[in-house]
């Protein structure tokens, strides 16, 4: 007897492929309708849009799966900045705040 899990497992790769094709088509359509009209770039083919999508994912996001725990982009491992601030002594905290006030308020005029 087949369980519902087996049927769902069969459709997951198909769903992923369809989602990739749909997002690639969105990149293709947006590039050719918006960017060509606004910026002096050449139109792209559908397969070039797929390549752009994969390239941007590699450059800006990677192919990480699973939950993203912790700090910036799932870096995890170390204590968060809040934990570091809580563990500072009062003297260190005052020094830290005065340094940031100095950095934020003493900006040069442009």
The predicted pLDDT at position 81 comes to 75
Print the domain residue range for 110: 79-110
In a domain, residue 15? The reply is yes
In a domain, residue 106? The reply is yes
Same domain, 13 and 47: yes
**pLDDT tens for the 110 residues of the chain, in order:** 566 677 788 888 899 899 989 999 999 999 999 999 999 999 999 999 999 988 988 888 765 655 555 445 445 556 777 888 888 899 998 998 888 888 887 666 55
Same domain, 4 and 40: yes
- Kindly report the number of other CB atoms within 10 A of residue 28's CB atom: 20
Same domain, 42 and 93: no
Q: How far is CA 70 from CA 22, 23, 58, 80, in A?
A: 31, 28, 21, 7
The predicted pLDDT at position 37 comes to 92
Q: How many domains does the chain have?
A: 2
Beta-carbon contacts of residue 52 (< 8 Å; ≥ 6 apart): 27, 31, 44
In a domain, residue 70? The reply is no
Same domain, 12 and 37: yes
pTM flag (> 0.85)? no
Same domain, 23 and 58: yes
- Kindly report the number of other CB atoms within 10 A of residue 24's CB atom: 19
């Amino acid at each position: 007897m087949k369980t519902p899990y087996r049927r769902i497992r069969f459709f997951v790769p198909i769903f992923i492929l369809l989602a990739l094709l749909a997002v690639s088509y969105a990149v293709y359509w947006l590039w050719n309708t918006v960017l060509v009209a606004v910026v002096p770039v050449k139109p792209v083919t559908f397969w070039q849009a797929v390549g752009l999508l994969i390239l941007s994912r590699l450059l800006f996001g990677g192919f990480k799966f699973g939950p993203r725990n912790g700090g910036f982009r799932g870096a995890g491992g170390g204590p968060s900045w809040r934990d570091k601030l809580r563990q500072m002594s009062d003297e260190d905290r005052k020094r830290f705040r005065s340094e940031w006030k100095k950095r934020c308020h003493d900006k040069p005029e442009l």
